[in-house]
């Protein structure tokens, strides 16, 4: 089976001075249906890793294949198209547009799909319902709770039916109960077949994924479940 994502000996250096190697010869395979957490302290290379997986950044050395295809030779336009069609992103700070309703925010990734408005709206309604926000469709993000904002962001990430959902500290701005709620949603989505890669500094959050990988100072090591 072809891996959905595969990193081979990826190093990412930021030229200094002093030069920083944020990732050091990292290899990782993500298969369809996987639910993987990458866990490590601040500054360990998590966002760098997710930016590379999400085609927002490129390895300095090494290979990244998405669905078997080498990404190094892709143009910026091709990378943007892959990002829009194959990947969904969720961030710590939600990144919702404050002057748009929940439904409008969820519809945004479909704007460039060429689909007519009624289809885009139907898809956005389905995604909004999927995360339990149908009663908040017409609300502006500012009046929502943190958990509701993150649900809206998850709906926006899912609306294109991405191959992989990438989440960078998705619970970083949420309290304990709301974190639990979002993690339960991720578990349900994964059970329905959604491939998920989540990065976090929270060991409790990481432990809920099927597979936890530790990152320290740019190096990966598998966490073996107790
Ligand atoms: P994390 O997300 O785990 O907190 P990052 O991936 O953001 O860690 O950063 C890893 C290391 O790379 C840090 O030492 C950080 O300072 C450095 N770094 C990240 N991005 C840049 C950049 N654009 N330029 C220089 N150094 C960077
Ligand atoms: Mg980070």
Distance CA(67)–CA(57), nearest Å, equals 17
Ligand in nearest proximity to the CA of 168: 2
* Atom 27 of ligand 1: nearest residue by CA position: 14
SS3 readout for 70-86: ECCCCCHHHHHHHHHHH
Which domain, by its residues, includes 179? 5-225
Is ligand 1 within 6 A of the CB of residue 150? no
- How big is the chain by its Cα radius of gyration, in Å? 17
Supply 223's token pair: 């966490």
Strand residue runs (E) in 81-224:
87-91, 164-168, 195-200, 211-216, 219-223
* Atom 6 of ligand 1: nearest residue by CA position: 45
- pLDDT tens for 63-109 read 999 999 999 999 999 999 999 999 999 999 999 999 999 999 999 99
Q: What pTM value is reported for the model?
A: 0.94
* Atom 13 of ligand 1: nearest residue by CA position: 43
CATH of the domain at 41: 3.40.50.300
Number of domains in the chain: 1
- pLDDT tens for 29-44 read 999 999 999 999 999 9
Q: Which of 10, 16, 41, 43 is the best mutation target for the ligand 1 pocket, counting ligand atoms within 8 Å of the beta carbon and taking the most? A: 43
- pLDDT tens for 148-167 read 999 999 999 999 999 999 99
């Amino acid at each position: 089976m072809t891996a959905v994502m595969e990193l081979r000996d990826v190093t990412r250096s930021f030229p200094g001075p002093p030069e920083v190697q944020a990732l050091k010869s990292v290899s990782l395979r993500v298969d369809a249906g996987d639910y993987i957490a990458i866990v490590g302290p601040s500054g360990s290379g998590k966002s760098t890793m997710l930016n590379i997986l999400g085609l927002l950044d490129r390895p300095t050395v090494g290979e990244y294949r998405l669905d078997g295809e080498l990404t190094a030779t892709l143009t910026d336009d091709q990378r943007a198209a892959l990002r829009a069609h194959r990947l969904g992103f969720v961030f710590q700070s939600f990144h919702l547009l404050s002057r748009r309703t929940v439904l409008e925010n969820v519809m945004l990734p479909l704007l460039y799909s060429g689909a007519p408005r009624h289809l885009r709206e139907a898809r956005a309604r389905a995604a909004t319902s999927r995360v339990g926000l149908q009663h908040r469709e017409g609300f502006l993000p500012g009046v929502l709770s943190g958990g509701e904002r993150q649900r809206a962001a998850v709906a926006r990430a899912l609306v294109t039916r991405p191959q992989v959902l990438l989440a960078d500290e998705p619970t970083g701005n949420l309290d304990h109960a709301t974190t639990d709620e979002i993690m339960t949603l991720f578990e349900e989505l994964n059970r329905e077949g959604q491939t998920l890669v989540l990065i976090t500094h929270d060991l409790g959050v990481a432990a809920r994924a099927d597979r936890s990988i530790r990152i320290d100072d740019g190096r990966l090591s598998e966490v073996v479940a107790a």
